[in-house]
Amino acid sequence: MTSAGIEYELTRKRVKNVNLRIHTPDGRVTVSAPRRTSEAFIAEFVAAKAPWIRKQQARIAAMPPRPELTYTHGEEHPFLGHPYPLEIHASAGRPGAEFQSEFQAEAATEPPEEPRLVVHARDPRDPAEIKRHIDRAYRRELQQRLDVLVPEWEQRLGVKTTKIRIRAMKRKWGACRTRSGDVVFNLELVKQPSSAMDYVVLHELAHLIEPSHGARFQAILTEHMPDWRAVETALNGRVTTRG
């Protein structure tokens, strides 16, 4: 849809307010609105925000693009909010990848000492093999943390999930099917700080109490994580406004 020259994607949800978001890295605009809100009202809302939207899109467009990963020795890969330089070795045994540092990164507030992502590969010159080992390591690390975090938040919230899955998703950090209790987490989450992972688990499990993003849902987040808005903003790297 378009209003005042601003293209946006409109989604109807069980929310009380009209929410407008500008996403990185492409400046894409999405709007979520209550099912009964008229398209005319939404268009007027977007039009009123048009100068601000263009300013934010210009700021995003000026950001330096993320370099394409080459999966070569020395390249940095994010893990729990910190860069891990890649070390590639010819495999003398079972190939694979492992994130290594001088302490348990998930328990630390300071950057890890001597972080490294060590890959043992059958062919150290094959980027596809290197990527495959790293992706498996990311999935393994995220699964290990979810195995701890999900039961913790289930107990705190008094809810119960039925199935936990990890998927590569482009537009969401997580998703919850409230009727079935099936929760999905984005594989990219393991690259973010531990506080972000904690927030996303809380966010998705809170939907088992309140399906919408309304006042009750936000009150649950505030009760259990008072600074959740700051964590969400840092995680999303996007601009959000409401009407």
86: containing domain: 76-143
* pLDDT computed for residue 243 by the predictor: 44
Same domain, 14 and 27: yes
Return the pLDDT at 213. 85
Read off the pTM: 0.75
Q: pLDDT value at position 110?
A: 61
Q: How many Å apart are CA 105 and CA 172, to the nearest integer?
A: 24
Low-confidence stretches of the chain (pLDDT beneath 50): 105-108, 238-243
Answer yes or no: do 45 and 88 share one domain.
Answer: no
Under 8 Å between Cβ of 96 and 120: yes
Q: Is residue 109 part of a domain?
A: yes
Report if residue 242 sits inside a domain. Answer: no
What the block records as the tokens of 56 is 């934010």
Say if residue 138 is in the same domain as residue 192.
no
Domains held by the chain: number: 3
CA distance 206 to 86: 37
Q: Is residue 189 located within the same domain as residue 217? A: yes
Using the 3D structure, point to which of 84, 112, 143 is the last residue of a domain: 143
Q: Which residue type sits at 169? A: M
Task: CATH number of the domain at 210, please.
Answer: 3.30.2010.10
- DSSP code at position 187: G
Is 69 domain-assigned?
no
Got the DSSP string for 173-210? SEEEETTTTEEEEEGGGGGS-HHHHHHHHHHHHHTTT-
> What are the tokens at 127?
């980027």
**pLDDT at residue 212, rounded to an integer:** 87
Please tell me the predicted confidence (pLDDT) of residue 103. 54
Residues 106 and 151 in one domain: no
Q: Among 108, 112, 107, 120, which residue's Cα sits nearest to residue 78?
A: 112
Spatial CA neighbour of 136 closest among 111, 160, 117, 152: 117
Residue 106 has what pLDDT?
47
Specify if 66 maps to a domain. Answer: no
Instruction: Check whether residue 228 and residue 182 sit in a common domain.
Output: yes
Residue with tokens 């209550």: 34
Residues 92 and 168 both lie in one domain: no
Domain shared by 154 and 111, yes or no: no
